[in-house]
Copies of this chain bind each other. A is one copy, B any other.
Amino acid sequence: MTTPTIQNLFSGLAQDAHEEKIVALLSAPNVRVDRIVSNGQASPPDFWWDQEWAEWVVLLTGGAGILFEGEKTPHELRPGDYVHIPAHVRHRIEWTHKEQPTIWLAVHFR
Interface residues of A (CB under 8 A from B): 1, 3-11, 25-26, 28, 30-31, 33, 54, 56, 58, 60, 68, 70-71, 75, 77-86, 89, 105, 107, 109-110
Q: Is the CB of A8 within 8 A of B82?
A: yes
Are B54's CB and A28's CB within 8 A? yes
List residues of chain B with CB within 8 A of the CB of A110: 30
Indicate which residue in B4, B30, B56 contacts A89 across the interface (CB closer than 8 Å): B4
Assembled-state Cα–Cα distance A60/B60 (Å): 9
A7 to B58, CA, bound (A): 9
Identify which of A4, A9, A71, A85 gathers the most chain B CB atoms within 10 Å of its CB: A4
Pairwise interchain contact A6-B75, C-beta atoms closer than 8 A: yes
Asked, given contacts A26-B107, A30-B30, whether A8 binds B81 with beta carbons under 8 Å apart, the answer is yes
